Amino acid sequence: MDVDPASDSTTEPYTQISSLMVLHHITVLSYLRYLFENPDPTKDDEQVCKSTLQDAVSILAVLFDAALSVAVYASAALVWCFEIAKLHLLEEIDLTVLGRTLTAAYAFDNFDVKFPTSEPTVENPGAFVSATSATALPLFGVTSANRCALQCADELWRKDPRNPDPHANPLVNGSDAELLAEFHMADTDGRPASGESLSPREKRFSWYALEILLRYGAPASPEFKELLVEIAGGPVPVRLIPLHETKQAVFSAMPIKQSTADGNLQVLENLFRQSGIGEPESPLFSSGDVDFTGFVILAHGDLLTVERVYDGRSSRAIEATQLTRASHVIVSPGLFHFKMAASDVIWRIYLKPPSSRSDANSLMQHCGILRPNETGKFGQKVGFRAMHDLIQHDIRASMLDCFRQEIHAKHPGMTIEQFASTYPPLALWLRELANQVVKKYIARTGSLGVARDQQLQNRDERFENQTLRNRDEMMYLDLSHAMNIGDIGVVEASIPYWCYLFKATGKYKYCTQMLNFVQDLRTRYSPDLAEIIRMNWLVNPTGKSGRFRGVDWLVELNNLYTKVIHSGSSSNHTLDHIIKESNLIEFYRHSHVTIEHGFHLKHLTVRHAPPDMTRTTAKLLEKFRHTKPHRFTPGRGADYEIPDYVALAMSITQNLKKSRETERELEAEEEPDTPMVIESDDLIG
């Protein structure tokens, strides 16, 4: 059928929509044909892709004859789309090839799916199924020069305290109190260098405060905009992961329940089989598989994954091979869940105690302005995204009020524009002003302890509470920024601080696991192996600046695609269908992106634009002006004195013998740690 490209009759909106749907189905069906009808690994991939492309064009010709497609230009667009799809096919990481290099990291997590029925019966009451998803990631920074660092499994097992017959002095980590004391003595990030007034951490705080002022509180004049561009590079980094794009090879989901130690070890064995690696002594070792004897395997998981893998290792310590005892697996705790634990700590300190909510300057009062319809949720367990946003908005308003207080202390009633014109040059003055804000309004444990030892008439409890909250919220801002830009040095340096808060607020398992992992990085593993682990602790799926994420975040994103987006519907919504589709989710995403780019579609993201918080922040600043928490007023009290949990945890470390007894008592009384809810908004972007 001849079609006139200029004819409007053939470009109705419904035909364009139909064309997009057809293109999607062609892409998926053609790829399935590629997967299932051409399993021969010796066949040339490019020839297979060309065959797939020819099939798509043939289908398009049929659609033209049936008058189901759009104008002729759609033909060229389709061909171009499939050429790009062909490149994606060729660029995809082959799971077996990657696994057999022995330079892959494995990340896995459980996911739960509910299969309801409209009317439950005895025979069919509905089902709630747990399964496990996983992905493999090429190790970044591993070269022929340092690959030998991975070949240390035997040496680590000889020094492992779980080894019933160690051949060397076993390396036993100390108690939490001993490790905290050791890290405190070695800390350089939280202490000013000789001749400096601010520590490296406080210098980063100063940059955050200045960035908040320029972005949210400064006038839209060229001078302020130029300074914002000037500081856009961020604070001085500690140890950056080089910018790179992280590829992944998704495994087929496994119908294995991960809630037990044995279940986690079953998952690992399944992953090794899918990757084509193992031990020749194993009955499952096939022709073409690679022997990983002597090599360590890096893995990633949340707190429970780390705990259960190591529990399983302890129970299998008497086994003869590294595969059966899993002694070669090093599990890194996921930083996305670590970040969630940090936000949960702030909730436990500032929102959970009912007596802390009535004070006029409490975080709950600020929550009433920032989230007026959700204060009830914040009084109970709240989702991660809501808590994350609350912390960000509260510290922004607090820093803006600090700058206002500093300016008015010198020149009452003067605006920032007037003050800037009084003290040129602008950049030097603003940086010094930000340093003063950090010194005066962000608590230091030592100086805060001295202030609280004073007589009540010489204290200001509201000021003390506010500076303490500024410190904890700024620490969270520092952690979040460091994770986004890939500054793994800052992340590692902040772990002891958060472990103080974990220990003092009842998250003892998080404290123990994170301290032990950092201690292993610094003492148990070789420098080359520790560097490989650090460089792969965060991933960057997009390859863009500021888009680093925890490996466990990527697994949660895959879970979203697996159990929600591509889980089937109606009679296809079954566990078998989910398992069959699970290893195709990455190609489905490539297919959508290819088609969208082929048609030059706009609005290619599902991320929402950030809300305009200008008026809300102004309302919160009005609250600050009323309560005056940053103006020191001797004798002023507060309805609730917020404890300095860092000082509280430090006091436990003073007497190591007593601290061991205290740790055992606290762990015996530990309340269940209900994890924060992860929502789809947490995984977008």
Torsion on CA atoms 12, 15, 19, 20, rounded to nearest 10 = 70
Instruction: Write phi, then psi, for 153 (nearest 5 degrees).
Output: -60, -40
Q: C-alpha angle 598/602/603, rounded to 5°?
A: 130
Contact (Cβ atoms closer than 8 angstroms) between residue 342 and residue 479: yes
Contact (Cβ atoms closer than 8 angstroms) between residue 298 and residue 106: yes
Q: What is the pLDDT of residue 67?
A: 46
Q: From CA 387, how far away is CA 377, in angstroms rounded?
A: 10
Q: What is the pLDDT of residue 177?
A: 87
Eight-class DSSP state of 301? E
- Domain boundaries of the chain, sorted by first residue: 8-91
Q: Give the model confidence (pLDDT) of 141-181 as tens digits.
A: 998 889 999 999 999 999 888 888 876 677 778 888 889 98
b/e sequence 520-530, b meaning 16+ C-beta within 10 Å:
bbeebbeebbb
The upper half-sphere exposure of residue 448, i.e. CA atoms within 13 Å in the direction of its Cβ, equals 26
Contact (Cβ atoms closer than 8 angstroms) between residue 325 and residue 317: yes
- How many CB atoms neighbour CB 295 within 10 A? 19
What is the average per-residue pLDDT within 370-382?
A: 90
Q: Is the torsion defined by CA of 548, 552, 554, 556 positive or negative?
A: negative
Q: From CA 431, how far away is CA 56, in angstroms rounded?
A: 60
In this structure, the strands spanning 538-539 and 549-550 are antiparallel
- How many CB atoms neighbour CB 186 within 10 A? 9
Q: What is the pLDDT of residue 673?
A: 59
Residue 436 to residues 191, 197, 433, Cα–Cα distance (Å): 17, 10, 5
How many residues does this entry show for the chain? 685
Q: Give the model confidence (pLDDT) of 189-214 as tens digits.
A: 999 999 999 999 999 999 999 999 99
User: Coil, strand, or helix at residue 13?
Assistant: helix
pTM: 0.86
Residue 476 tokens read as: 């969270």
pLDDT at 62 over 70: no
User: Coil, strand, or helix at residue 537?
Assistant: coil
What is the average per-residue pLDDT within 671-681?
A: 60
Contact (Cβ atoms closer than 8 angstroms) between residue 620 and residue 627: no
Q: DSSP labels for 103-128?
A: -EEEEEEEEEEEE--SS--SS---EE
For tokens 């292993």, name the residue.
520
Contact (Cβ atoms closer than 8 angstroms) between residue 108 and residue 252: no
* β-strand partners of 300: 107, 332
Q: From CA 114, how far away is CA 563, in angstroms rounded?
A: 10
Instruction: Write phi, then psi, for 277 (nearest 5 degrees).
Output: -130, 160
Eight-class DSSP state of 199? -
For tokens 């429970």, name the residue.
304
What is the average per-residue pLDDT within 82-91?
A: 49
Q: DSSP labels for 374-401?
A: -HHHHHS---HHHHHHHHHHHHHHHHHH
The upper half-sphere exposure of residue 514, i.e. CA atoms within 13 Å in the direction of its Cβ, equals 29
Beta strands in 204-296 (DSSP E): 249-250, 277-278, 290-291
Higher per-residue pLDDT: 489 or 233: 489
Residue 294 tokens read as: 């002597």
In this structure, the strands spanning 277-278 and 549-550 are unpaired
User: Coil, strand, or helix at residue 412?
Assistant: coil
pLDDT at 22 over 60: no
Q: From CA 621, how far away is CA 396, in angstroms rounded?
A: 10
Q: Give the model confidence (pLDDT) of 477-492 as tens digits.
A: 999 999 999 999 999 9
Q: What is the pLDDT of residue 229?
A: 86
